[in-house]
Each structure stands twice: as C-alpha cells, then as structure tokens.
Amino acid sequence: MAEEVLRVKDLEVQFKTAEGYLSAVRGISFNLKKGETVCVVGESGCGKSISALSIMGLLPANGRIANGEIWFDGKDLVKLRQDEIQKIRGNDISMIFQEPMTALNPVFTIGFQLCEPLRIHQNLNKTVAAKKAVELLKQVGISEPERRMKQYPHELSGGMRQRVMIAIALACEPKILIADEPTTALDVTIQAQILDLLNELKQKFNTSVIMITHDMGVVAEVADRVIVMYAGEVVEEGDVETIFNDPQHPYTQGLLASVPNVDREQEELTAIPGSMPSLNEKIEGCRFHPRCPFATEKCKLQHPSMTMIGNHKVRCWLKGGQVSDDNINSQRDAL
C-alpha cells in the first residue's frame, strides 16, 4: 500500500466580511498518497483553490483556518509558525498557479526567479543555482534555456510561462505538487503538452500531485482519484474509473452530463440549473438541494454525511436508502 504523504481532516476555512466570518470551506477531509494524482473538481467558487492555499499557508489577510488539521511529514501545518511554513513551502510542497503572468514577477528575469528557491531552500551559490536552473528549463522543454534565463515574463508566450512556473515548482524536487488549473488559459495543443509534461515529471520524481480543475477532460487524462466539491464541501470521492462510469451524486452526474462526447452525433448537453450559492446564503439540509432535480423533503431539512458506496464515498440522501436505485437511475437518465 502506498505511503500517505498528506492528510487533511475536517478543514474549515472562513473569511472575515462586514457580516462576520463566513465559511468558504466546510469541514473537508481527504488524503494523498505517494506518487498519486488527486483531481479536485467543481464549479468556480466551490472552495477548490482556497483548500489548496490553506495547505500552502497562503490564505489572504481576511482568511483563516477556523478548524481542522493538515498533516504533512508528521506535522500539523495549521499549528506551525509562518517561518516554519516558509521552509516547507516551495521546498517540500510547491504550487503551480492558474495564471503565470500574475504569478511571475514582471520586474525580475526568469533566471532570477528560478534560482531564488534553489538559493533559499538548497543553499546553492549563484553559479551552481544558475546551472541547475538551465537544466530545469531543458527538462520542461524550453529551447535556448541560457537565453531564456535573461528574459522577462512578458517576453515569453503563455505556454512557455507556464513551463517556467512548472520548472520553479519542481526546482527543489517537492514531495507534493499542487497545480491550480494549470491549463486554463492555454490553447488545446499547449494544454496537452503541459499535461504530458506534468505526468512525465511526476513519474520521474515520484511526486504526489493535487490537480485543481473544472475540466472533466483533464480529470479523465491525469487522475488516479477524484474529489468532487460543491459549495465548500466534498460531495463525492472515488477512483477515476468509478467516478466516470458510476457517478453517485446528482452534482457529479450533472458535471459529466455537461461534457461533450465526440463519439455521439447531435448530442444535446445538459446544464445544471441555477448557480453556486454565495458564502452568506443560508441553506438548510443538503447544500445542493436547490439545484437538484431529485431533492426530497429530507434533502431540504437534514444535512447528509459522507457514506461509503462500493469503493467510493458520496454525500447524498438518495444513496442513504431514501430512494430506490431504479428511481435514481431513471432520474439520472433524465439529466
């Protein structure tokens, strides 16, 4: 059995607003094994990126971890001082941000930004760090790396900037790599190249990956296990084949129903009605019930807990014996 490298338990993240503290992440729990890729999926605003920033210790000033634990290397990251977190961040746990143009500093060269984590975390001198930086640029497929070292972010294409971000993230050979929608702003061809590169580097360094995305096509290509989030909660979790072939939660079913299939002619895509609730919206019972076509009275009144269904978990009353499987299947077909 693979070694566990990260465990998140009952994580709750809140933001201070004029109305008081509001929860953006509501008691999520998951683990990550060595060499595993876990994809966290869901609509914008569901808490995916906030969960990742919590692990990195990079919450904005008005955010706080109100409850929960984040265990890495025998330490609860929630309880560490900021200077202790800084020794881990960028060294043992790295992150590729969604938009490299804003993540890279526009006033420093690529070489300076790539050498910085090597000098800080690995105590390399300027010459050795520069040599390793060139090798890293070669590894991520950037041509003429010596020339690129002297360039600034604005002088590179979007795909090249993303490769630079990957090189920076992998500079110290981290145990965990968090990729926050790393292909969102790229065209389809470059997306495929970046995903292939991430997979290749993962195999080489045996790195564990948390991939944050809303693209189910990306999930199908790279995931070992999938975590589906809705309104700050995990609503379903399982291996990638189970999630795609036998989704249990109506929200997961809706996400998959909205993905185009090139093998089907004249396919009509079905959108999930409504929109994600705001942080201050009070919802009794299941948080998905206002948008769920299968909601019962119990769904509207009582909040469901995670239940084991086969080899994966689901947060849904429909799978708690309230509705027959035949009824659920017929409703699913209607999506």
Q: For residue range 197-251, list pLDDT tens digits in order.
A: 888 888 888 899 999 998 888 899 999 999 999 999 999 999 999 999 999 999 9
With a pLDDT cut of 70, the percent of the chain lying above it is: 93
Which of 231-265 are b and which e, b meaning 16 or more Cβ less than 10 Å from the residue's Cβ? bbbbbbbbebebbbeebbbbbbbbbbbeeeeeeee
> What pLDDT score does 298 carry?
93
Question: Residue 53 is which amino acid?
Answer: L
Specify the 3-state DSSP secondary structure of 120. Answer: helix
| Triad 275, 281, 282: Cα angle to 5° | 125
Looking at every residue in the chain, the average pLDDT score rounds to 89
How do beta strands 208-213 and 225-230 pair?
unpaired
With a pLDDT cut of 90, the percent of the chain lying above it is: 69
Q: What is the mean pLDDT of residues 62-74?
A: 96
3-state secondary structure 157-194: CHHHHHHHHHHHHHCCCCCEEEEECCCCCCCHHHHHHH
Query: What does DSSP assign to residue 89?
Result: B
pLDDT digits (tens, 9 = 90+) for 237-281: 999 999 999 999 999 999 998 877 766 665 677 888 999 999 989
Specify the 3-state DSSP secondary structure of 335. Answer: coil
Q: Determine contact, residues 112/131, Cβ cutoff 8 Å.
A: no
How do beta strands 225-230 and 307-309 pair?
unpaired
d(CA 29, CA 83): 26
Provide the residue count of the chain: 335
- Which tokens in the block code for residue 327? 């009824």
d(CA 148, CA 130): 12
Q: Is the pLDDT of residue 9 over 50?
A: yes
Question: Residue 309 is which amino acid?
Answer: I
Query: Where would I find the H helices in the chain?
Result: 48-56, 82-88, 100-103, 110-121, 126-139, 145-149, 158-170, 188-205, 216-222, 240-245, 250-257, 297-301, 325-334
Q: Is the dihedral of CA 205, 206, 208, 210 positive or negative?
A: positive
Predicted confidence band of residue 319 (pLDDT cuts 50, 70, 90): confident
Q: Is the pLDDT of residue 328 over 70?
A: no
d(CA 112, CA 133): 9
Q: How far is residue 169 CA from its own chain's centroid?
A: 15
What number of CA atoms fall less than 13 Å from residue 232's CA on the CB side?
21
Residue that wins the pLDDT comparison between 231 and 141? 231
d(CA 13, CA 294): 29
pTM of the model: 0.89
